[in-house]
Amino acid sequence: MNSRAFILLAALAALIFGLASCGRQDKSGPAGPRKAEEGGKAIELRVYPDPPVALRETELMAHLSDDGKPLKGAKVSFDLTMPAMYHGENRPVAAEVDTGIYTAKAVMPMAGVWLIDVRVEQGGQKFFQKFYVDVKEK
């Protein structure tokens, strides 16, 4: 085999290997759901798609429960920030789409680590949970 053919073969092998490793990464599956509980009040955050993609619409969904029962009629909002830098206010307000399930659409303008603070208010009580979400490059 001459050297030119060898280089071509090596490049082809690298390409195939690269595609194969991308395929494996894609099968790693969703990162969520994320759940935290305090004083019987549980907040589970799901994001669609998971992981979210920068500059694309993401659906945020909070499943709320109190002592294991779905938490109805709460005011829920999400506060989206990037710990590394300031991106301005990004606080979509959620609507209750089913008992204890609240959703809002959001756009995160940059890939990287975002902090999603799920804020809940019900019957004069306020509570929250913060979740880290890794946003992918477009």
Within 6-25, the residues that bind Cu ion by CB under 5 A are none
107 binds Cu ion (CB under 5 A): no
Pick between residue 92 and residue 112 the one whose CB is nearest to Cu ion: 112
Within 75-94, the residues that bind Cu ion by CB under 5 A are 82, 85
107 contacts: CB under 8 Å, gap ≥ 6: 55, 56, 57, 58, 90
At closest approach, how far in Å is the CB of 3 from Cu ion? 46
111 binds Cu ion (CB under 5 A): no
Within 39-78, the residues that bind Cu ion by CB under 5 A are none
Residue number of the CB atom closest to Cu ion: 110
Helix (H, G, I), strand (E, B) or coil at 135: strand
How far is Cα 123 from Cα 138, in angstroms, rounded to an integer? Answer: 40
Q: Is 102 exposed, middle or buried (0-12, 13-18, 19+ CB in 10 A)?
A: buried
Residues at the site binding Cu ion, with contacts judged by CB under 5 A: 82, 85, 110
